[in-house]
Amino acid sequence: MTIAAGMVTIAAVITVAINPPAGIAVGIAAGLLGIGAGALTFASANGCGIYIRWSFDTPIWTGSQC
């Protein structure tokens, strides 16, 4: 996710030069990916790994296995 957040950030910079409203939307997506990557990193900080709780086909919660 961290790599994807970086790639989307680069896409936002390119997109904002071409179409500013679309660039803002892509920038928001990059921010949300960054927040998600940070949450997963925080959950796995103790070296125990993470778990993902699913509801049907949608992940609804992540947390540490510690």
Given a cut of 90, whether residue 57 has pLDDT beyond it is: no
Question: Which pTM value belongs to this model?
Answer: 0.71
Average pLDDT over residues 44-48: 82
8 A C-beta contact, residue 33 and residue 5: yes
- Cα-based torsion angle of the residue sequence 47, 53, 57, 58 in order, rounded to the nearest 10 degrees: -90
Q: How far apart are CA 65 and CA 34, in angstroms?
A: 22
Domain map (residue ranges) of the chain: 2-64
